[in-house]
Amino acid sequence: MHYVDLSWPLTSQTPIDPEDSAPQIKPIAQVEADGFTMHEITVGTHIGTHVDAPIHMLAAGKTLDQFPVERFIGRGRYIDVTDGVFSIEKLRLAKVAAGDIVLFHTGMSAKNTAPEYFRDYPAIPEGVAEYLVEQNVKMVGVDMYGPDHAPYAIHRILLGGDVLIAENLANLDKLAGKQFTVYALPLNVAVDGAPARIIAAVEE
């Protein structure tokens, strides 16, 4: 077994949409003066690698803390969409099933410091999103800014179907052809989303 980190580092330099506020990480105590080190972190709930909860798009949706921890852990299914094609056939070939965490590899993560990363990314088709809900997967993850653009129909299909969404993933190319388990654990907070350390435990 070996592990692949699918998360972006969370720093004051984490790439952000120009319309968002950058994370703020500042020291509030230091060993030399205070006997201990402590920092204060201010970050938006959808900055860097994070997990979306249903309330992000649905007024009556659940918050992250309302999901049991097992909802954030599941068999991973790698889907190569670097050709720009999202299809139900690819999901069938990957044998996507109930309880899976499906990861779409677009290749966009390589461009996460460029402005187009936040604007010129592909969208998951509605039919594919509906199929994932029908299959009762736990979560859909993408190595891009999100699964769609405004007015966010794909968000609403997935979250409305109780499928969580992980965004801004990295290193998905390391999962091609592998069997793995995904651990996508966000902060346990009663809000619409939160930063997460997401890893894949890959079978040798």
Per-residue model confidence as pLDDT tens digits over 14-49: 999 988 999 999 999 999 999 999 999 999 999 999
C-alpha closest to that of 11 among 23, 20, 29: 23
Distance CA 45, CA 176 (A): 29
The CA-based dihedral angle spanning residues 121, 72, 74, 165, taken in that order and rounded to the nearest 10 degrees: -20
Of 97, 110, 95, residue with least CA distance to 172: 110
Angle between helices 126-134 and 153-160 (to 10 degrees): 10
Domain residue ranges in the chain: 2-8+44-202
pLDDT tens per residue, the chain (204 residues)? Answer: 999 999 999 999 999 998 899 999 999 999 999 999 999 999 999 999 999 999 999 999 999 999 999 999 999 999 999 999 999 999 999 999 999 999 999 999 999 999 999 999 999 999 999 999 999 999 999 999 999 999 999 999 999 999 999 999 999 999 999 999 999 999 999 999 999 999 999 999
Buried b (16+ CB within 10 A) or exposed e, 61-81: bbbbeebeeebbbbbbbbbbb
How many Å is the Cα radius of gyration of the chain? 17
- Does pTM surpass 0.75? yes
* CATH 3.40.50.300 fits domain 2-8+44-202: no
> Which H or E run contains 191?
none
What residue type is assigned to position 93 of the chain? L
How far apart, in Å, do the first and last CA atoms of the chain sit?
Answer: 5
